[in-house]
Chains A and B, each alone.
Chain A
């Protein structure tokens, strides 16, 4: 069977699209789909539906995505993404997603880095609504026997030989029994949030451990230095709470107090896009303001927003923040700060979502394809569904449905070790980076690597090092990667940084060629 690892949006999309072609799959995830990070997505999904009378067009979505990604995304892939976006959103509607609409048409909202209203949404709960519709759609094929689910199973290794994948190893988290499954594998395991436990807006479930192990086994990764700091997050108990970009899209304004006077700095500094600048620019600007002695505090001011929004499309956001920070955001500006949110980098795939290992595919946030050096809000729900769709429309039936019990050789990793790695990574991979900071972090990693590590610790440490080395080697500033020692964008670095491991970490800069990973 086809083995899909991860049942968030990308995994569900792959499974459903395979089922549409009568092809069966195993759908394996640590927890049920309801618990996947995809349910947390808030603001919306992009498509040039052109329902707002703004003359929007697919080519403009394409351009904004390319430009927003600081021209590090691959044109042919982004073309596919943006051309399919409209169909995807109407497909979601046909599955019953209750998109905000008016007079029978889907309403779109503004999002950062886009000059047109292009983001379809359901209040600030878009991910949950999309997931619910796809979970129900997948159920249709579970009943028919085309999708076989393994919830509460963690895939901890793949069966790889001669640069080809023939199956996977997983453990049942409830019984501790381990099994092998055979056939092609599709990784939809989400972003690398597990490298920064407690400090991201995402899910605790996406540990990144499988990816680190596969890196040691020869899987190529790309653009690992590209980590998105979302400008509007809040530190709450044990995690970062995202304030959706819808807050800015609906008219929220960045505010500080300069010499005691209110100062709407984004509007002053970026007269064209104002508060709707891309996330990389917003986070960097906030960082500068935070370090400016004449300025005090960073707030989001939503008090001027049309009152009708608070009962309708922003009602859930208002309630959530009232609960978590005890501020009524309709009445008072509230403090925000940038926080780690999304990983543009990940598994290197070609336009068919193939990795450099035969019979191994990847889609969703774990893969690196569409978002270049900075992802536009609303493009990753799209990218996850589209990536799953590409895979679901390409793979062919595999008849081996054996489930074989095997020795459980899973190794546990202590949370305290993960936090140690996190703190080192953070010291090198902040919003603003420089050679000394990154080199110091690498030095600390090297010291750890000399200790007597378990394999699972070693793998995680090597992946962390690859992220740091990627940041050290890219001697330019582009998108989310800002080097104060190389503040300019350098055309010669307009290339994919491909990381591989052969006993040593290698970073190779590969032309953006429309994406052959092999």
Chain B
């Protein structure tokens, strides 16, 4: 197949497209494995036979559990370790996510997500309220990979406009689900300001989330507690 990659050298301003010819036989092979296989070739050459640098991208778990490998695959954000080459026919195009500062090739700096969580003070001030009834929602919220795919497709998210998207809302919704009543007021303000007010509820994020988080369930719960003040102790 032809692999087309939008590339960018570190500390330079220009991006360029480079194409590779790639063959594979395992129909389960993923985009991440393809990139690793290309990088194994010591004298990697592009489709025209010109020497090519190793392709920079992020990865860690290779099983959809860490969110490292998010990129644009044929224009759609997704995890490189989850997408199978066989689903893309004989041509695939890889690009870095667009809403984050570009670092190198397919690597972007997603540090804004942790900065936002710090700004929103996403942590528990007192002891967590956990019980059987709350557990399922806490579990769902805690699954967020901080991959950034939701921000990429969100029509309302832009860096530093105060709205933190679902990458901000999911971790916060775990806190909302487990907080003590005395902390409700402050956290409600945070939720209102950084999530509720900015979200247009188009739910584009729900379809794209590679973890398949039940985003709507969590929003309903967070709205009930933080906006409508239906706080139930247990």
Contacts and interface: CB of A to CB of B under 8 A. Distances in A.
B221 interface: no
Contacts of A99: 130, 135
A120 B61 CA distance: 23
Contact of A415 (B36, B68, B122): B36
Contacts of A132: 142, 144, 171, 174
A38 B219 CA distance: 28
Contact of B66 (A39, A97, A98): A39
Given A96-B138, A139-B118, A37 B128 contact: no
Interface string A86-123: 00000001111111111010000000000000000011
A137 B123 contact: yes
A40 interface: yes
27 contacts: A31-B68, A34-B145, A35-B60, A35-B68, A37-B60, A40-B66, A93-B130, A96-B124, A96-B128, A96-B138, A98-B136, A99-B135, A125-B143, A136-B123, A136-B124, A136-B171, A204-B60, A204-B62, A237-B30, A237-B32, A237-B84, A238-B29, A238-B32, A238-B33, A238-B62, A238-B81, A416-B41
A339 to B, nearest CB: 13
Nearest to B58: A31
Nearest first, the 7 A-B pairs at minimum CB distance are A96-B128, A238-B33, A98-B135, A132-B142, A98-B138, A140-B123, A35-B60
B117 interface: yes
A128 interface: yes
Interface in B89-135: 103-104, 107, 109, 111, 114, 117-118, 121-125, 127-128, 130-132, 134-135
Contacts of A149: 114
B28 A133 contact: no
Interface string A155-195: 00000000000000000001110000000000000000000
Given A32-B146, A98-B138, A122-B139, A40 B67 contact: no
Interface residues of A, number: 53
Nearest to B117: A139
Contacts of A152: 109, 111
A34 B66 contact: yes
B63 A241 contact: yes
Contact of A95 (B66, B109, B128, B145): B128
B18 interface: no
B23 interface: no
B142 A128 contact: yes
Interface of B: 10-11, 26, 28-30, 32-33, 36, 39-42, 58-63, 65-68, 81, 84, 103-104, 107, 109, 111, 114, 117-118, 121-125, 127-128, 130-132, 134-136, 138-139, 142-146, 171, 174-175, 178
A167 B65 CA distance: 32
A250 interface: no
A95 B107 CA distance: 32
A98 B142 contact: yes
Contact of A40 (B58, B63, B84, B109): B63
A136 B175 contact: yes
Interface in A291-330: 320, 324
A510 interface: no
A123 B139 contact: yes
Contacts, number: 148
A358 interface: no
Contact of A39 (B42, B61, B111): B61
Given A204-B60, A238-B62, A415 B39 contact: yes
Interface string A205-248: 10000000000000000000000000000001111010000000
Contacts of A100: 135
A191 B134 CA distance: 34
A36 interface: yes
B165 to A, nearest CB: 16
A310 B39 CA distance: 39
Nearest to A136: B123
B29 A136 contact: no
B128 A139 contact: no
A34 B178 CA distance: 21
Contact of A129 (B59, B81, B139): B139
A151 interface: yes
Given A34-B66, A174-B103, A101 B131 contact: yes
Contacts of B68: 31, 35
A104 B133 CA distance: 10
B174 A151 contact: no
Nearest to B107: A174
Given A34-B145, A96-B128, A97-B130, 20 more contacts: A34-B146, A35-B58, A40-B65, A94-B127, A99-B135, A101-B130, A125-B143, A132-B142, A139-B118, A139-B121, A175-B10, A237-B30, A237-B32, A237-B33, A238-B33, A238-B36, A238-B62, A238-B81, A324-B63, A416-B41
